[in-house]
Amino acid sequence: MEIPLLVQPLVILFSTAALTPLIDIVGKQAKAEKIRDIFAIAGFGAAFYSLMSLHWAISSTGPQTYILGTFGVPAGGVQLTADLLSVYMALIFCGIGLLVAIYSVRYMEVDSGLDKYYALLLTLVAGMIGVAFAGDFFNLYVFWEIMCISSYTLVSFRKYRWEPVEAGFKYLVMSTVGSLLALYAISLLYGFTGTVNLKQLSTMISSGQISASPLSLYFTIGMIITGFGVTASMVPLHTWLPDAHPAAPSSISAMLSGVVIKTGVYAICRSLFTIFSPASFDYGTVLMIFGILTMTVANLMALMQRDIKRLLAYSSIVNIGYILTGVGIGAYALSHYSSLKLATPIAIFALMGAMFHILNHAVGKGLLFLCSGCFVHEAKTRDIPELEGIGRKMTWTGTSFSIGLLALAGVPPLSGFWSKLFIILAGFSLPEDSFMKFISILVVLNSIFAASYYLWLMQRIMLKEPKPKIASAVEAPASMLLPIVVLAAVTVVIGIWPGAIISLAESAGRALLGG
Amino acid sequence: MKNGPENQLAIITVILLAVVAFTFVSEILGATPFSLPSRPPLEKFLWTYRGLDVIIQGFIVFAAAAAVAALFRVEKGLGAVEEVAIEGELEKEEG
Amino acid sequence: MVEPWQLYAAAASAAVIIGMYGVASKRNMLKTIIGIEIITSSIGLNFLAMGSRGGIADPLAQSIVVVSMAIGACVAAVALSIMINVFRHYGSLDLRKLRRLRW
């Protein structure tokens, strides 16, 4: 039976997830327990290869769609759509998932219940790839929920301590209410138009044939931003993140900070830009204001932290602020200057910066959380004053940690510099609009402020004398070092030759506007 | 795997469910190995209208089952708690 | 003339607000989870109310509600498991006891 290329990654990941408990039983009988780890890594590898061939297919022939069964779109059937933005996000999700699975082989080996861990990790990545490929709003919600259920459980995975369960419960309540708000928005859109397909919603709303006042459509936009913004950790809704990310096992913290919160930003972008055309609805202002608020509040809170993973969690919120500001600049340019010929290139430029920053932050924050997992694994503490100088004892991990911190701070030869530069330049590109200039100045100030505590953290971890308590720390094992070194190398390579990734991000931004 | 009455009951139930599923699904796939009396084509609608949502919902149930199994797992003997060998004590650093 | 679907949609919106009040202000964790389930069911009612606007009941709304109820059941299962684990650690279901994670 020939499986179409579009659904191959989903089929591979879901079937691997279903088979992992069986392989675990086989492995336990044969006294070779690592079989299930190798099986999960093979599943991720096969899905990544299939996504690469899908990317090649889409770049040559255009967006692909898939409908299961005989009910077509007008009758209410489900459609999966993959354009360049979807496959760009899916490649990031699957790549980080593969590296986290390789890291988890040694990191999680003292835990029990690992077959369920790998099964849930596979369904987490499968759910995220499904969100990226969804062409139907309710289908997006269903994939979103499978991602959320896997992530609630993985946060509370080490349930024998109080911290993961408390953080997991808080995360579950807040994130479920957020998803339900988005579902309420879906039901309102269904009430206005009679369909839940994204393309059909866009044609029906832009043609103006539906009996809905602009106020009710803006109410729906607000529900979508709030609902998906809980998972994307926008500022008034972010309070679950600094508790959930430190409490999760470090490999899962890397997944959460690196890719799960980006899925929230992707869902906001995809649903708003596709359904509500940016030329007729103004949601750029709201996204920019919330982006600046997110950045500023999280920067101030990050300075006060003593726990290394909590500081990295707050810095994830700051970077989501950059991405939302970039998206907001794009939407603002399209809605306020729709008559200007320059508006579309500016919007594509801003969206390109935001998409590039998604990749940079996924790689960089994944790297930072995996390194901090190694540090905490050796030192048995998460307190920064006690972890001082551990980078000198664990040289490979410490160097990669410093590369990650410099990259996220925006230091030039590394990758973070380019994406922040694009977002700031896009804000300055319309000189007569003082609101956009003000927002860009705030982005620059927040960027400098964030660089200050990244460099402070690097100084404490790498350049101070180690305390006697951690004097016996040894370097992490090779299979935990491999993903760390790969991510650091990717950061350096993208920083020096950003051309390929810039063209990928630009085509992704163009696909978001043109689709 | 212990051979108790529960295991045999589980195996019989799984075989019965597989036969029922095969009977329903085979008509959609177009392969009818044995001729059943003609029924109204209800299954085609139930399984294929928004079929992708139903399939993914099936995987949500699998993920929820794995989640509940992971959250209620017993480590190393009845009721024992895993040694806190992984991330050390946190009580003293809540400053 | 108020049509029947408008009454159902208004009742569904009121029930969503009641559910959110339950999530936000109840001390017992079990009542929080019940609030989440109230929100899920009332959004289903909203879908069905919107679906009944033509003369014929829309199969799309009904399929969506069936799938959404199954998802709500799975979320409740995971939430209750985490709640039982919290009880094992803290000894009570009082949400105000979960305040060790602050700054």
Cα distance between residue A252 and residue A150, in whole Å: 11
pLDDT digits (tens, 9 = 90+) for C38-85: 999 999 999 999 998 877 888 889 999 999 999 999 999 999 999 999
pLDDT category of residue B86 using cuts at 50, 70 and 90: very low
Answer yes or no: do A80 and B52 touch at CB < 8 A: yes
Residue A472 has pLDDT above 90, yes or no: no
Q: Percentage of residues in chain A with pLDDT exceeding 70? A: 99
Chain A hits for C36, CB-CB cut-off 8 Å, are: 173, 176-177, 180
* Interface probe, candidates C82, C84, C90, chain A, greatest A C-beta count within 10 A: C82
pLDDT: which is higher, C101 or A396? A396
Cα distance between residue A505 and residue A84, in whole Å: 9
Residue A307: beta bridge partners?
A: A383
Please give the average per-residue pLDDT across A276-298, as a whole number: 92
Answer yes or no: do A110 and B93 touch at CB < 8 A: no
SS3 A383: strand
Cα distance between residue A239 and residue A249, in whole Å: 19
Query: To 5 degrees, how large is the angle CA A458–CA A488–CA A401?
Result: 20
Please give the average per-residue pLDDT across A169-174, as a whole number: 95
Answer yes or no: do B85 and A110 touch at CB < 8 A: yes
Residue A241 has pLDDT above 50, yes or no: yes
Residue B72 backbone phi and psi in degrees, to 5: -115, 20
Q: How many CA atoms lie within 13 A of A162 on its CB side?
A: 13
Q: pLDDT value at position A315?
A: 94
Residue A425 has pLDDT above 80, yes or no: yes
Of the listed ranges A21-35, A163-177, A293-307, C10-24, the least confidently predicted one is: A21-35
Cα distance between residue A514 and residue A502, in whole Å: 18
Facing A150 at nearest CB: one of B47, B63, B83: B63
Q: Is A372 an 8 Å CB contact of chain C?
A: no
Q: pLDDT value at position A280?
A: 86
Answer yes or no: do C43 and A190 touch at CB < 8 A: no
Answer yes or no: do B82 and A307 touch at CB < 8 A: no
pLDDT category of residue A515 using cuts at 50, 70 and 90: low
Chain B hits for C60, CB-CB cut-off 8 Å, are: 50
* C-alpha distances out from residue A374 to A213, A263, A394, Å: 55, 26, 9
Domain that holds residue C43: 4-97
Do the beta carbons of residue A10 and residue A133 sit within 8 Å?
yes
Residue A1 has pLDDT above 80, yes or no: no
Do the beta carbons of residue A409 and residue A455 sit within 8 Å?
yes
Residue A392 has pLDDT above 90, yes or no: no
Residue of B nearest to A73 (CA): B50
Q: Is A165 an 8 Å CB contact of chain C?
A: yes
Q: What is the CATH number of the domain that holds C30?
A: 1.10.287.3510
Do the beta carbons of residue A240 and residue A171 sit within 8 Å?
yes
Distance from CA of C1 to the nearest CA of A (A): 17
Chain B hits for C71, CB-CB cut-off 8 Å, are: 57, 60
Length of chain A: 515
Distance from CA of A144 to the nearest CA of C (A): 11
Of the listed ranges A60-64, A175-179, A189-193, C97-101, the least confidently predicted one is: C97-101
What one-character-per-residue DSSP string does A194-206 give?
S--BHHHHHHHHH
Residue A382 has pLDDT above 90, yes or no: no
Give me the interface pTM, i.e. the ipTM: 0.96
Long-range CB contacts (within 8 A, 24+) of A302-308: A302/A450, A302/A453, A303/A453, A304/C103, A305/A384, A305/C103, A306/A383, A306/A384, A306/A385, A306/B93, A306/B95, A307/A246, A307/A382, A307/A383, A307/A384, A307/B93, A308/A372, A308/A375, A308/A376, A308/A382, A308/A383, A308/A384, A308/A387, A308/A457
Facing A183 at nearest CB: one of C43, C90, C100: C43
Answer yes or no: do C74 and B61 touch at CB < 8 A: yes
Cα distance between residue C103 and residue C98, in whole Å: 13
Cα distance between residue A316 and residue A243, in whole Å: 13
Domain ranges within chain B, ordered by starting residue: 1-39, 50-83
Chain B hits for A14, CB-CB cut-off 8 Å, are: 59
Facing A173 at nearest CB: one of C23, C74, C90: C23
* Interface probe, candidates A187, A303, A305, chain C, greatest C C-beta count within 10 A: A187
Please give the average per-residue pLDDT across B37-49, as a whole number: 70
pLDDT category of residue A252 using cuts at 50, 70 and 90: very high
Facing A68 at nearest CB: one of B52, B59, B83: B52
Nearest to A310 by CA among C81, B95, B37, C20: B95
Residue B79 has pLDDT above 50, yes or no: no
Answer yes or no: do A78 and B66 touch at CB < 8 A: no
Cα distance between residue A161 and residue A204, in whole Å: 51
Cα distance between residue B69 and residue C81, in whole Å: 9
- Report the number of distinct structural domains present in chain C: 1
Answer yes or no: do B61 and C63 touch at CB < 8 A: no
Residue of A nearest to C43 (CA): A184
Chain C hits for A210, CB-CB cut-off 8 Å, are: none
Dihedral sign, Cα of residue A108, residue A110, residue A115, residue A120: negative
Enumerate residues 6+ apart whose C-beta is below 8 A from A486: A99
Facing A159 at nearest CB: one of B1, B66, B71: B71
Residue A429 has pLDDT above 90, yes or no: no
The neighbour count for residue A241, using CB atoms within 10 Å, is: 27
Residue A68 has pLDDT above 50, yes or no: yes
Q: Is A489 an 8 Å CB contact of chain C?
A: no
Chain A hits for B64, CB-CB cut-off 8 Å, are: 149
SS3 A64: strand
- C-alpha C42: how far from its chain's center? 7
Answer yes or no: do A306 and B47 touch at CB < 8 A: no
Please give the average per-residue pLDDT across A172-188, as a whole number: 96
Q: pLDDT value at position B89?
A: 44
Residue A71 has pLDDT above 80, yes or no: no
Q: pLDDT value at position A55?
A: 93
Chain B hits for C75, CB-CB cut-off 8 Å, are: 64
Residue B27 has pLDDT above 90, yes or no: no
Cα distance between residue A224 and residue A271, in whole Å: 8
Cα distance between residue C12 and residue B30, in whole Å: 42
Residue A67 backbone phi and psi in degrees, to 5: -125, 130
The answer to whether residue C20 is domain-embedded is yes
Burial grade of A370 (CB within 10 A; 0-12, 13-18, 19 or more): buried
